[in-house]
Chain A
Amino acid sequence: MKNLLELMGVEPDRIHFSWISSAESTKFVQVVNEIAEKVKALGPNRHFVKQEAKVA
């Protein structure tokens, strides 16, 4: 899934997969922070957004 999204031009750092058990609270915090940081660095996604319908 990630590979094809990347091929279509979504930045690799926007997509993350993780497996976290309900007992792994520290890992959860860590992963979320990491993702937030990476996505912040990329800035808002302006490309894969549908614009308002154009009215002729």
Chain B
Amino acid sequence: MITYSNKIKEIAKRLLKECRAEMVIGFRKGSIPMMNEPCFVRTDEQADDLVWDSHCGINLANYLTSRDEKIAIVAKGCDSRNIVNHIVENKINREQLYIIGVPCQGMVDKRKILAQTEGEVLQITETENGQITVKSANGEKTFSKSDVIQQNCSVCIQPNPVLYDEMVADPVQGQTDIDQFADVRALEAMSTEEKRAYFDELLAPCIRCYACRNACPLCYCPTCFVDESKPQWLGKSQDIMDIKTFHFLRAYHCAGRCTDCGACERACPVGINMRILTKKLNKDCLDLYDWQAGMSIDKRPALDVYQTNDPEKFIK
């Protein structure tokens, strides 16, 4: 990880010096452990703040929307797929970008660590061979990284960037024969009543803070439908129906675009797995249209094209 960080710093400095980029978007250490924050580097000194470790789960593509300067951006697999989305959706030009590709080994889920640690987490270190050591107020504990990784990373199919100008290291071995959609299938198999109960329970703690929406690179509308008041599309209360409608519509706006980067779930202060909704749509897109979002800048999104063989069984 240190080698990644050093390489990123080096590339960032070079790009700024050569004026290939006016700004480098990457990560720096946050004020508390496991909370790296995005940073926007414009000078040589700032470039020294750049880091890479297992806490870079925020999706940086979110910061590219409608920018007009030349930007270099650090991108892991899912970030790069969202960058592709942004290019396809005309939110940024390919020519403006210099993509620093990072082969990703998965991001740590801080909730998993916190659940298994007593006392405040003071420091966290990791080794190249996947051991994570957590120092807390009550002592020290070592985890194997694979046990505390984010759920979406454990079923990730594209850890290497799909689009990049330079890689910081050799590509990592991607996972094959994993079952991406086991959780969706389990839910599909439930009865209507059970499904309803599942979502009632899942979404009840939602406080409508919209952190999930804000963290998602797909949600770039200047005014989101949930914020409109004239007309008001959606009740602003915490009535379970309003919550459900918000989540249903949010997911639907991501149909055929979501890369399952996990930024939404990661951002949620109450730990709701709202990704199950977008995953269902991802699964349908794959089954019905053989489509996975953000894999190539030359392909039009599933919901953007018509083909004579599009499935139409649902139409009478």
Residues in A lying within 8 Å of B, measured CB to CB: 1-12, 16-19, 31, 34, 47-51, 53
**CB of B112 within 8 A of chain A?**
no
Q: Establish whether residues A8 and B284, one from each chain, have CB atoms under 8 Å apart when the complex forms.
A: no
Q: B187's contact among A1, A7, A34, A50, by CB below 8 Å, is which?
A: A7
A3–B251 alpha-carbon span in the complex (Å): 12
Q: Identify which of A11, A34, A49, A50 contacts B235 (C-beta below 8 A).
A: A50
Q: Is the CB of A4 within 8 A of B252?
A: yes
CA distance A16 to B239 in the complex (A): 27
The answer to the question of B233 belonging to the interface, with a C-beta cut-off of 8 Å to chain A, is no
Bound CA span A5–B196, Å: 10
Inter-chain CA distance A2–B196, complex, in Å, is: 15
Q: A4-B277, A9-B195, A16-B316 are in contact. List 6 more A-B contacts (CB 8 A).
A: A4-B248, A5-B248, A6-B195, A7-B184, A9-B199, A50-B235
Contacting residues, chain B, for A10 (C-beta < 8 A)? 192
- Asked whether, in the complex, the Cβ of B195 is within 8 Å of the Cβ of A7, the reply is yes
B72 interfacial contact with A, CB 8 Å: no
Chain A residues within 8 Å of B195, by CB = 6-9
Asked whether, in the complex, the Cβ of B242 is within 8 Å of the Cβ of A47, the reply is no
* Count class of interface residues, chain B: 20 to 34
B196 near A17 with CB under 8 A, answer no
Residues of A within 8 Å of B244, CB to CB, are 8, 48
> Is B127's CB within 8 Å of the partner chain A?
no
Q: With CB as the reference atom, state the residue of chain B lying closest to A5.
A: B248
Q: Which residue in chain B gives the minimum CB-CB distance to A3? A: B284
A16 to chain B, nearest CB (A): 7
Q: What CA separation (Å) do A31 and B316 show in the bound complex?
A: 8
How many CB-defined contacts (below 8 Å) exist between A and B? 58
A53 to B314, CA, bound (A): 36
Complex Cα gap A1–B199 (Å): 17
User: B314 touching A17 by the CB < 8 A rule?
Assistant: yes
Name the one of A31, A47, A53 contacting B239, with C-beta atoms under 8 angstroms.
A53
| Complex interface residues of chain B between 241 and 294 (CB less than 8 A to chain A) | 241-242, 244, 248, 251-252, 277, 280-281, 284
Of all A-B residue pairs in the complex, the 4 with the closest CB atoms, nearest first, are A9-B196, A9-B195, A50-B241, A18-B316
In the assembled complex, the Cα of A9 lies from the Cα of B196 at a distance in Å of 4
For chain B residues 213-255, which have a beta carbon within 8 Å of chain A? 235, 237, 239, 241-242, 244, 248, 251-252
* A1 and B316 in contact, given A47-B196, A50-B241, A53-B239 (Cβ under 8 angstroms): no
Q: How far is the CA of A7 from the CA of B276 in the complex (A)?
A: 10
Q: Which residues of B contact A3 (CB under 8 A)?
A: 280, 284
State whether B242 touches A50 (Cβ < 8 A): yes
User: In the bound complex, how far is the Cα of B198 from the Cα of A6, in angstroms?
Assistant: 13
Q: Select from chain A the residue with minimum beta-carbon distance to B187.
A: A7
Nearest-neighbour CB distance to chain A for B117, whole angstroms, equals 35
- Which residues of the other chain, A, contact B252 by a CB distance below 8 angstroms? 1, 4
For A50, what are the chain B residues with a Cβ–Cβ distance below 8 Å? 235, 239, 241-242
6 A-B pairs within 8 Å (CB atoms) are namely A4-B280, A7-B188, A8-B199, A49-B241, A51-B239, A51-B241
**Residue in chain A with minimal CB distance to B283:** A3
